[in-house]
Amino acid sequence: MASPTDLRTEGALPVLRRVFGYDAFRGFQQDVIDHVVDGGDALVLMPTGGGKSLCYQIPALVRDGVAVVVSPLIALMQDQVDALTAVGVRAGFLNSTQSLDARRRVEAAFVAGELDLLYLAPEALGVRSTLALLDRGRISLFAIDEAHCVSQWGHDFRPDYLALSMLHERWPQVPRIALTATATSATRTEIASRLKLDDARHFVASFDRPNIQYRIVPKREPRKQLLALLRDEHPGDAGIVYCLSRASVDKTAEFLVANGIAALPYHAGLDATTRAANQQRFLREDGLVMVATIAFGMGIDKPDVRFVAHLDLPKSVEGYYQETGRAGRDGLPSTAWLAYGLQDVVQQRKMIETSDGDLAHRRNLAAHLDAMLALCETVRCRRVQLLEYFGETSTPACGNCDTCLNPPESWDGTVAAQKLLSTVFRLDRERNQRFGAGHCIDILLGKHNDKISQHGHDSLTVFGIGSELSEAEWRGVVRQLLAEGLLAVEGDYGTLALTDTSADVLGRRRTVTMRREPERPTSSRSSKPR
Ligand code: ADP
Ligand code: ZN
């Protein structure tokens, strides 16, 4: 093992080879490293698994002093430090989980300059004693990991990150490198401005993950669909299943276990010990399926996650991309599978409508959801649409996603949309009533059930005018109208209501192109066999 002095006179490439055992840099790693070693600020956007860590770890070894790494992932600090120690790098961390003794040792090592990297939680930098400690040592650089946590619009917002702008004021001569796998240009601009990275060079990698196959399927019996995916395509593979609620995490994990799949739950409602134990098992054992809320996964470095399945709709494309990005970090073929249905749209629109925060905040949530819905409803290549969202245009169709492999048909849904919207209109204007999607569809299908007769809805002129479509197809119609904002959901019961643009469809000023539901259990129309 070379002494620290040797490392510092060595170039970046020999350090990569000798310390980390890799032959060559990937992508623009070397450019970032050279820039930071020379004292420049950098903002690095690279997809998960792209190799962001080396972008600050190597400068930490090459520059004089101790690199201070700010990371929100307290649970992973021990792992990160262990991994570095194993290759002879001198690393330590300070966080709320460690003993006073351990803390004192790390502090002493920092002041004596006997560390290459010091990991800190962002909240530590709000504590005066930590700042005083940092003043007593020599800092080579600041690395701000998961830098998108500073974005107030983002789904991982951490208030402590806002205070990190003071790093520049307090230590103006120390270079800073901010890193994230979240990629829209809006987020990038926000990170740069909130962290005062005015002169930082931006390094933006392609966000394509060619080994991930993207698939979005209609949700019918989600747990059974999931089980079929695991049995048919991923037997014995490690993977992550994301659910929206803790309750559905628990139920799904139980369901999988009952069906012979080695699954573990993970959500914020479990005690810390269970959570940590489940995470450790997932990382260390082969072929476990982690069923989790999105509380799980940030910073998880498990290369052989073969699939990421979503049983509920993510709230944004950024979230979807980050979560699916945990699949296939080893570059081998992996699946990103999402089951998506009408209820998801109703539920998420309702959540936005009833959420705290001002109008601007709700609009922002709605815009993020709309982009996610557009990805679900697209008839184009999923990858092309995903990359366009992140500002990468002119990517060719991938040939490997569900829409490339099985191009969805589109159909003129204008008349169907008019029928559905008139039903909502009539209930509202003639009866002053509002109902959910299920009841409106029952009216269109002409069903004679209790609720229909109780309200006398069999006497509506729209009763039974929709028998040309199946119930599943009608649900697809409602879903797509909701996705396009031609229909709205309101209140705690998710009742349907018209929007400003509904009138354009009712008044024949606008046509509606719809995506054909891939499976059509009952239908009289002839169509391409599947
Ligand atoms: P990120 O933080 O961007 O998600 P990591 O820094 O954890 O990614 O790197 C992902 C994986 O790729 C790690 O296992 C890492 O050791 C490996 N890696 C990074 N850079 C290189 C390289 N130049 N050559 C080979 N492997 C690399
Ligand atoms: Zn494609």
| pLDDT, tens only, 1-59 | 444 445 556 789 999 999 999 999 998 999 999 999 999 999 999 988 789 999 999 99
Q: Mean pLDDT across the chain, nearest whole number?
A: 91
ipTM: 0.98
CA-to-CA separations, 164 to 122, 150, 414, 435, in angstroms, rounded: 8, 9, 52, 49
Query: Residue 332: which residues within 8 A CB-CB, separation 6 or more?
Result: 211, 304, 306
Which residue from 117, 173, 177 is spatially nearest to 146, judged by alpha carbons? 177
Residue 216: exposed, middle, or buried by beta-carbon count in 10 A (0-12, 13-18, 19+)?
buried
Percent of the chain whose pLDDT exceeds 90: 73
> Which residue of 15, 16, 22 sits with most ligand 1 atoms within 8 Å of its CB, as the best mutation to test the pocket?
22
Secondary element (H or E) of residue 338: strand 334-340
Taking the CA of 297 as reference, the closest ligand is 1
Taking the CA of 29 as reference, the closest ligand is 1
- Asked if residue 138 has pLDDT above 60, the reply is yes
Residue 49 and residue 67: Cα distance in Å, rounded?
A: 22
Assign 96 to helix, strand or coil: coil
* CA of residue 334 to ligand 2 center, whole Å: 14
Residue 530: exposed, middle, or buried by beta-carbon count in 10 A (0-12, 13-18, 19+)?
exposed
| Neighbouring residues of the ion ligand 2, judged by CB less than 5 Å | 381, 383, 398, 401, 404
DSSP states along 194-252: HTT-TTPEEEE-----TTEEEEEEE-SSHHHHHHHHHHHH-TT-EEEEE-SSHHHHHHH
* CA of residue 64 to ligand 1 center, whole Å: 24
Q: Which residues line the pocket of ligand 1, CB cutoff 6 A?
A: 22, 25-26, 29, 46, 48-54, 301, 329
Is 361 or 326 the better-scoring residue by pLDDT?
326
pLDDT of residue 527: 34
Which amino acid is it at 241?
A: V
pLDDT digit string, tens, across residues 309-318: 999 999 999 8
Secondary element (H or E) of residue 307: strand 305-310
Assign 457 to helix, strand or coil: helix
Query: Residue 65: which residues within 8 A CB-CB, separation 6 or more?
Result: 113, 137, 138, 139, 140, 141
Which residue from 39, 73, 38 is spatially nearest to 53, judged by alpha carbons? 73
